[in-house]
Chains A and B, each alone.
Chain A
Amino acid sequence: RKEVEQDPGPFNVPEGATVAFNCTYSNSASQSFFWYRQDCRKEPKLLMSVYSSGNEDGRFTAQLNRASQYISLLIRDSKLSDSATYLCVVMKTGANNLFFGTGTRLTVIP
């Protein structure tokens, strides 16, 4: 079983829509959680860290559910510029590497 499982997508949504991505992780010792964004043929960039209490950054909201071992990303009022691949990332306690999901491709349509 993969360390991190992510919605495969692709998600094609109209401008202004709300879209949610989910991601599950297999190791309960996982400590740090992140969402990254990767544009076509570019490197991944940190979108936001995910905290236990949940956190919001403008139109983006991240949630963590440790009991069910999943994290989510909600994007409200989608913009064309939100089109990208969104990667779920988990770091295990005591480990020295990060585990990436396969990514979910989002296309926002005019």
Chain B
Amino acid sequence: EADIYQTPRYLVIGTGKKITLECSQTMGHDKMYWYQQDPGMELHLIHYSYGVNSTEKGDLSSESTVSRIRTEHFPLTLESARPSHTSQYLCASSGHRAPNTEAFFGQGTRLTVV
């Protein structure tokens, strides 16, 4: 089992609320990622990080922000949630050196904004 954890697993929240999705990994991985995935659809990269104090936006534009103050922690924040943010958010991490470069995923946070 991969040592990467996301909380909460499920979140229902009202429009306009600020939310933070937590992601932590204990594998010492430098690289971490956030993906957004709607049911039956493909994964979209929204943020990634090479290491502490590095964050980059992904391919899909997102109103969320991320931070990477510690290697093991990569939280995602939405300042003002909207119904269009309803989706599943998947966090992943990967190692730096081959052959251990595959990504491990957390179980995801299913967000519903009402």
Contact = CB atoms under 8 A, between A and B. Distances in A.
Interface stretch (A11-19, A56-64, A97-105): A97-105
Interface in B6-52: 31, 33, 39, 42-43, 45, 48, 50
Contact of B105 (A32, A44, A49, A103): A44
B94 interface: yes
A12 B98 CA distance: 35
Contacts of A46: 102-104
Nearest to B103: A98
Counting chain A residues whose Cβ lies within 8 A of the other chain, the interface size class is 20 to 34
A43 B106 contact: yes
B108 A100 contact: no
B35 to A, nearest CB: 8
A3 to B, nearest CB: 9
Interface string A43-54: 111100100000
A96 B56 CA distance: 10
Contacts of B94: 98
B108 A43 contact: yes
Contacts of B42: 100-103
Contacts of A91: 101
Contact of A41 (B39, B58, B106): B39
Interface of B: 31, 33, 39, 42-43, 45, 48, 50, 56, 58, 88, 90, 92, 94, 98-99, 101-108
Given A32-B102, A97-B31, A97-B33, 4 more contacts: A45-B105, A91-B101, A96-B56, A100-B45
